[in-house]
Amino acid sequence: MSLERLWNGWRSQYVRGFNEGERNEPGRSVFTKILESGASDEEAHIVHRGGTCFVILNAFPYATGHMLVLPYREVADLEDLDAAESTELWATVTAAVAAVKRSHQPHALNVGINLGAPAGGSIAQHLHVHVVPRWEGDANFMTAVANTRTLPEPLDDTAARIRAAWKQEETR
């Protein structure tokens, strides 16, 4: 069964900007490349930066508002995090959940981590936690029945909404 695709031209510049010609470079994840690229947070769709961790929108989201929470340091496994990274990672996951609840009012959320490629980790060398908003009747059935994903909002708009909600949470 082949995967059908809906054309999302607005995403091509983002994908090309960080992946073109570098996809198979060993030893450095796409996240490390983004951090080293010199791109602004707006260009990279980074919605929050902390001391040891940051939050970026997933370039290939399962749903609008799909974020990844990860340490700056490229490590593959939870046990490779130092105490400060581990503490901040989980606090940042909680803050990401609060921010997306405020910005997008999802009915529910999936929060998860895939450790290793066989577990579904597409970028297994750089640990990241998924925060995925979900809605009653959302279009995620499209992936199962039509091998297609639908996204109603450009990443730039999603990032702006989440950044604004994050700032509101920080001032509370």
Q: Which residues are catalytic?
A: 128
CB atoms within 10 A of CB 4: 10
Handedness of CA 41, 45, 48, 52 (dihedral sign): negative
SS3 state of residue 115: coil
Q: Is 137 left (phi over 0), alpha (psi -120 to 50) or beta?
A: left
Using CA atoms, how far apart are residues 74 and 124, in angstroms rounded to an integer? Answer: 10
Name residue 159's amino acid.
A
8 Å CB contact between 85 and 71: yes
